[in-house]
């Protein structure tokens, strides 16, 4: 392990760029990751705020529409002909009440309007395609409703179509004598749904479902969404949709109904800003690392080149060339070292010359002494 992290055998020319590369890499990774997490959290916060705003707006819009339907039904339930039909069932009152029920079916989606007695048994009906709907709708109502239920009921799936009902009490002297109910088929066109989603955002989707999660729809067809927690109307939810994409969703209750609305955004679109930022950090960091390595390489060469010259000069001195000089073209520590080296070699050279002179003089003196003794 010590050998792996040791730089003793690595030249200075390589060591400095390597150290600077590691330093820059650690800074870029640390700064980039911290910044990415911050941007990601901010993107999630913005996405949650947008999801909350859109789901709240849709919830409010649908709640107002439901309240309008309830108000229309209550207005009809307050008609005297309706009350007398439930109490007495006079033929003339029935004709007038039937006309009131017919007017409640304002278009072809309103398949049934009816008066019910206190036990929720039908007294008078105005319907479309009675052979297809009446018995099954009655069955749904009697199986699923509480006796005291009033308002907008759940969404039901029947023969591939979706229906919901609005039920209001019919009262006489503050006593409930019966109910007025009307059923509407949910049949929004795909184009209408696409227009709504385009207003919300091209990649967004919305779903309406029962508050117990039993049925979900995009208003054009039923959809299966066991991933959505219909009871969690506060927290941001995360799951994979039917296409296998990771999405974020926000659920809000719809006032005056038994429904909730869910708005979902793909995670990719919510975190697109964070992903773009991360890519920029990677590109900029890579450029900085390359520039840092290049500058470190040039710097290391500027340091190692004089040292190499000093090493070569030292080798020449070792070989006996005491007259070697190192060129000096800088004023930093390496320049001072080169000057000191030149001064040292000059002193060594002088000492060598002096020693050689003394040796010569000694040899001459010895020669003269031998001549005199002869």
Going by their DSSP bridges, the two strands 175-186 and 161-172 should be labelled as antiparallel
Cα gap 48→238, rounded to integer Å: 11
DSSP state, residue 214: S
Q: Tell me which residue range forms the domain holding 368.
A: 322-373
Query: Does some domain include residue 342?
Result: yes
Query: For 44-56, what is the mean pLDDT?
Result: 85
Using CA atoms, how far residue 174 sits from 70, 78, 119, 171, 178, in Å, is: 18, 11, 17, 6, 12
Structure confidence by residue, pLDDT tens digits, 288-346: 888 888 887 887 777 667 777 777 777 777 777 766 776 666 667 767 777 777 777 77
Under 8 Å between Cβ of 114 and 122:
yes
Q: How many domains does the chain have?
A: 1
Query: Does some domain include residue 51?
Result: no
Structure confidence by residue, pLDDT tens digits, 139-193: 555 545 555 677 898 898 888 888 898 999 999 888 889 999 998 988 876 777 7
pLDDT for 133: 54
Residues 6+ apart with CB under 8 A from 247: 238, 239, 240, 241, 264, 265, 266, 267
Query: Does some domain include residue 298?
Result: no
Query: Does some domain include residue 338?
Result: yes
pLDDT for 344: 78
Query: Does some domain include residue 356?
Result: yes
Query: Does some domain include residue 366?
Result: yes
3-state secondary structure 103-157: HHCCCCCEEEEEEEECCCCEEEEEECCHHHHHHHHHHHHHHHCCCCCCEECCCEE
pLDDT more than 90, % of the chain: 13
Encoded tokens for 353: 């010359």
pLDDT for 282: 85
Under 8 Å between Cβ of 197 and 205:
yes
Query: Does some domain include residue 57?
Result: no
Structure confidence by residue, pLDDT tens digits, 334-370: 677 777 777 777 777 777 777 777 878 787 777 777 7
Query: Does some domain include residue 223?
Result: no
């Amino acid at each position: 392990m010590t050998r792996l992290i040791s730089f003793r055998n690595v030249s200075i020319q390589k060591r400095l760029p390597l150290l600077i590369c590691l330093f820059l890499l650690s800074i870029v990774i640390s700064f980039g990751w911290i910044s990415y997490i911050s941007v990601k959290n901010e993107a999630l916060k913005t996405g949650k705020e947008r999801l909350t705003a859109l789901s709240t707006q849709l919830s409010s819009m649908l709640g107002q529409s439901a309240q309008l339907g309830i108000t229309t039904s209550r207005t009809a339930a307050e008609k005297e002909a309706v009350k007398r039909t439930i109490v007495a069932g006079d033929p003339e009152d029935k004709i007038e009440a039937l006309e009131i029920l017919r007017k409640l079916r304002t278009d072809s989606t309103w398949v049934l309007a009816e008066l019910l007695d206190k036990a929720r048994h039908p007294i008078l009906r105005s319907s479309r395609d009675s052979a297809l709907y009446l018995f099954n709708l009655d069955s749904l109502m009697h199986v699923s409703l509480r006796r005291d239920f009033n308002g907008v009921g759940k969404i039901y799936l029947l023969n591939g179509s979706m229906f919901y009902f609005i039920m209001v009490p019919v009262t006489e002297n503050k006593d409930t004598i019966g109910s007025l109910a009307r059923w509407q088929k949910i049949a929004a066109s795909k184009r209408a749904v696409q227009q709504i989603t385009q207003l919300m955002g091209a990649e967004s989707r919305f779903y309406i479902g029962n508050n117990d999660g039993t049925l979900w729809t995009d208003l054009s067809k039923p959809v299966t969404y066991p991933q959505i927690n219909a009871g969690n109307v506060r927290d941001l939810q995360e799951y994979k949709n039917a296409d296998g994409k990771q999405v974020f969703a926000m659920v809000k209750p719809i006032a005056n109904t038994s429904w909730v609305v869910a708005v979902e955004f793909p995670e990719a679109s919510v975190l697109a800003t964070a992903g773009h930022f991360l890519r920029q950090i990677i590109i900029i960091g890579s450029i900085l690392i390359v520039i840092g390595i290049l500058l470190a390489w040039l710097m290391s060469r500027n340091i190692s080149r004089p040292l190499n010259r000093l090493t070569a000069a030292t080798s020449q001195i070792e070989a006996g060339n005491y007259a070697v000089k190192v060129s000096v073209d800088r004023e930093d520590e390496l320049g001072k070292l080169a000057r000191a080296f030149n001064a040292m070699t000059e002193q060594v050279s002088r000492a060598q010359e002096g020693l050689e002179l003394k040796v010569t003089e000694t040899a001459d003196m010895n020669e003269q002494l031998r001549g005199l003794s002869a």
